[in-house]
Amino acid sequence: MTTGQVDVKHIAKLPSVKSWRSTALAKRLVFKLFNQLRHGELVIQDGDTTHRFGGGDVSIAPSATVVIHEQRAYSRILTGGTMGAAEAYIDGDWSTEQLTDVTRVFSANIPILEAMKHKQNWFIKAGVKLAHAARKNSVSGSRENIAAHYDLGNEFFSLFLDPSLMYSSAVYPKGSDNLAEASQHKLKLICEDLELKPTDHLVEIGTGWGGMAIYAAENYGCKVTTTTISKEQLDYARAEVERRGLQDKVTLLFEDYRNLSGQFDKLVSIEMIEAVGHEYFDTYFGRVSSLLKPDGKAVIQAITINEQRYEDYRKSVDFIKRYIFPGGCLPSLNIISGALTRTTDMQIIDLRDIAIDYAKTLKHWHEAFMAELDAVKSLGFDEKFIRMWRFYLSYCEGGFRERIIGTYQITMAKPYYRPL
């Protein structure tokens, strides 16, 4: 995952709307909405009273219990929609021991999610959209978005990522539940899909902490040129390359992908496309194509959104866009295919669905994060940040488990590519 983040220590609350001051009315309207649940079950514990909604097929979605701590949670959900619900959780207005299951229940009931979104007060919605629009991924804007996220620090991310600091979906070998092993297996699959060999020169868009570049150089003997716009990641990757004595194999650049030049045998980009933005998908794929030789090959790992929801999604702002990845936009498979058709001479030759692997990856990140709470706090992060980060991890895991978002490893090739 790569892109930027707003100031997480001072989360701005969505403004309340005076017309919804009546808690009783807000509660009734929220419960009316929840009565439409068809899959799974939502249990609301409010003081001494328990309310149950849904109760449908739990093989589709689970049962989850929410505890209300502040009555304002209802009006925040009513006027803020899913964003209001997220902020109410971050502020401690409600809690749950089953955060991922709560997100799964709503992900499995898309009409409820859509209704909650449309309930959002128009003034709030307009303000959020304007803020998001200001975070466009121009060359300068992309660098600002990236810097905000990774200013959280390498030490923070090292608390919950695997030892190679892969901030992207792992791919679990059959029978394995080990994150570190799965992260290395993901890299192995990508290199095999690329048919890497020692004489290749591989270019990477989005260095991360250098895991892919180092793996390819060490295990396949090829040269790698990799670029990032995160100074934090660049410094870490450079130190790691030097520590491993790979300076003659790996070239690290601090450069926007749009400014890259030259032609390479192979190209890889792991979960960087999500930071590109809707307006720049054609530019991104045009650059991918121009960087490859006529017989070149590329693998792009991408988080995607369902085609049926793409247009509505790209025009709206959800929790992730507002608080975690400003300027971000998940493509759909059709959007990717369309951009390839318009701007390149490439074709997709293979597709690997790894959505469930991402759900497992996020579960492991979340468990590791919770096991390191004392260390997180020692870095200066408060309870509000911790709840925000937990919501982020659970929100994404639930989305992958219910398949409203997906992840694919997409292999594409230039016209003169021929299999080995």
The gap from C-alpha 139 to its chain's centroid, in whole angstroms, comes to 21
Instruction: Report the C-alpha gap between 227 and 237 in whole angstroms.
Output: 11
Q: What is the dihedral of CA 339, 340, 343, 346, to 10 degrees?
A: 180
Q: Quote the tokens at residue 169.
A: 């979906």
Kindly name the residue from 191, 222, 329, 396 that is annotated as catalytic: 396
Q: Which amino acid is at 294?
A: P
Active site residue 396: yes
Q: Which residues of 165-202 are buried (b: 16+ CB within 10 A; e: fewer)?
A: bbbbbbbbeeeeeebeebbbbbbebbbebbebeeebeb
| E-only strand ranges, 120-162 | none
User: In whole angstroms, how far apart are CA 339 and each of 189, 197, 294?
Assistant: 25, 29, 19
Which among 151, 173, 294 has a CA at the least distance from the CA of 232?
A: 151
Q: Which residues of 234-271 are buried (b: 16+ CB within 10 A; e: fewer)?
A: bebbbebbeeeebeebbbbbeebbbebeeebbbbbbbb
Cβ atoms of 348 and 337 within 8 Å: the answer is yes
Q: Could you give the residue numbers annotated as active site?
A: 396
